[in-house]
Amino acid sequence: MCGITGYWTTQRANRATIEAMAAAMPHRGPDDQGIWLDETQGLALGHRRLSILDVSALGHQPMASATGRFLICFNGEIYNFLDIKKELGDAVRYRSGSDTEVMLAAFERWGVIPATQKFNGMFAFAVWDTHQRILYLARDRFGEKPLYYQLSPGGLLFASELKALRPHPLFDTTLDPTAVAEYFRRSFIPAPLSIFRATRKLPAGSLLVVRGMPGRLTGQLIPYWSAEETAITAEQQRFAGTYDEAAAELEKMLGQIVRSRMVSDVPLGAFLSGGIDSSMIVALMQAGSTQPVKTFTIGFQDKEFNEAPFARDVAAHLGTDHTELYVGERELLDVVPLLPQMYDEPFADGSQIPTYLVAKVARSRVTVSLSGDAGDEFFAGYRHYWDTLAKWARHQRMPRVARRAAIEATKAWAGTLAFSGLEKMGSRLPSPFDKALNSSKIRHKGEVWAIDSFDRLYLELITQWQGSPSPVLGVDALDDLPWKPMVRRPSTNLRFMMLADTLSYLPDDILVKVDRATMAVSLESRAPFLDPHLFRFLWTLPQEWLLRESTGKRLLRDVLYKYVPRELIERPKRGFAVPAGRWIREELRDWAEDLLSEPALNDSGLLNAELIRRRWAEHTARQVDWSHGLWTVLQFQAWREAS
């Protein structure tokens, strides 16, 4: 795992600039730094190395191919590099045991785009073709590794993190209002947007091919793989076997995938929460290992959020070398000031804090850690899938006339509450009666009843800032945001939600959270579920093999129970969050009040200060829990203050 950066501009390449860009990411590569320049072309490449495969100096980057035609800066791992090496044959002579050198040999043999289509792994790379004067930027199929770029008349800048672009004088830090609006809806900024108007995230499964001369550069975005196309095609090619045969195939496939992710020349372990996904990964790791696998979890004093006892029981059953660390509230709160620099742009997933802490614990003993990420998206594990299906069923059962009446009634009631003293009574009533006296909640219920398509209902229900108006000035409705429907919709509503999450929530929230948290402590994280062959296989299965009634991950559970007793797994899902609502009312009250003051909110020129202040007052008075929406505002304001 590494950090990459570079530029191609009209000016002569400057060593001090590229060194500063690479030096901005020491956490992504503490073991080595490499620089390459072509001064006359105005081209520079920078690399920070975290040594995983072939830790010797032979793995130094930027690395040139055997003929010198291709030069690469690479971040990630190619899990099938030994298979590719075998396919290339004995004619190729290698200097090292790194996957990077195999990639270069593949570019020499097949070309950059065809070779990239063969890679199975997590990666972001830049490749300079010295013969054709073409620069290629690429990102892996699911977006596990990040890559930002700015392409303008002045030239091209790129990097693994935004902070590495800041040392370059061409970097444009003008905010993008659309990205800000998207952030408040989702708590993250979806690709290809970034917080800065001129900078984009390279979409997952894509290559950016940059040609021309500095000052006249053109970039062509080429998708080399599509999760959407793969899913829709696979859905039409149904698995021909029985449920038991599918379970056997899943177990075999996962075993092979996990073994390929355990190849490492440095110490390796796994995160273990005791849930289905991480337990499955650890079980297969232990089954394929002659030594106890190192596993890691953190515990909390608050029982509502603590999963450490469950992880401990699973670790004891599997016989892993388990490390458990309990963290207090002070340790959790101490992470909050680190978040703006860690994530580089506004990001408000509350589990980012414990994710950083468990990564820090793991890094004390290993350099690589496997995780169960993507289990919920691939195996229909989210509770909100079932909840949304149930809500839509109620929508469908209610006659249109009754729905219109309900919409008008909620509007009228919300208006009455807004201009009366009744709303103040809400804080003194138990749930759900308190919500019945909150005009914002009532207004949002009416807006939900007005939605006439399942797809839009789902997108509205997963928003972090619910109800109108928007906290961003000039944006009031979901239709104002650039959500683009899928080209070909899956056959069922459940499949739509799973694919929508795979295309956006997974790469832009879950994988961002894990990448930044682990890289902040120089730990490589690998997610075995993120395998294109597994993804395709799961989409060939009937959906009832994944979600039955209100229980998800049916097939995965049945495979897991061969390794771990059912009673150690079957319990309500807790997640990996923090009590942000209480924090901002109590321990973080002064910090929050400062960031949510009227002058601070007005300073950006983008935020609806009156609305945010009203919800802040309702939250602190315990009239209604606005913690999700307010946390997005606080992280946005904290990021602005730190930038």
Query: Which positions are annotated as active-site residues?
Result: 2
Distance (Å, whole) CA 520 – CA 617: 35
d(CA 482, CA 371) in angstroms, rounded, equals: 32
Spell out a b/e string for 84-121, using b for 16 or more CB atoms within 10 Å of the CB, else e: bbeebeeeeeeebbbbbbbbbbbbbebebeebbeebbb
Structure-block tokens of residue 571: 């319990």
Residue 502 carries which DSSP code?
A: I
Distance CA 121, CA 98 (A): 14
Are 15 and 167 contacting, i.e. CB atoms less than 8 angstroms apart? no
Determine the Cα–Cα distance for residues 127 and 580; give it in Å rounded to an integer: 43
Residues 6 or more apart in contact with residue 203 via CB below 8 angstroms: 139, 143, 191, 192, 221, 223
| Structure tokens given for 140 | 């892996």
Q: Helices marked H in 137-262 — which ranges?
A: 177-186, 227-235, 243-261
CB 460 within 8 A of CB 451: yes
For 324, phi then psi, to 5°, come to -125, 130
The span from the CA of 350 to the CA of 341, in Å, is 16
Number of alpha carbons in the 13 Å side-chain half-sphere of residue 421: 0
Dist CA 10 CA 156 (whole Å): 10
Query: How many helices (DSSP H) and strands (DSSP E) are in the chain?
Result: 27, 17
Sequence-separated contacts (24+) of 255-259 with Cβ below 8 Å: 255/284, 255/287, 255/288, 257/528, 257/529, 257/531, 257/533, 257/534, 258/284, 258/285, 258/288, 258/370, 258/528, 259/288
Is residue 168 a contact partner of residue 7, using CB atoms and an 8 Å limit? yes
**Greatest Cα pair distance in the chain:** 83
Coil/strand/helix, residue 1: coil
155 three-class SS: strand
Q: Which amino acid is at 119?
A: F
Residue 179's CB is within 10 A of a number of other CB atoms, namely 20
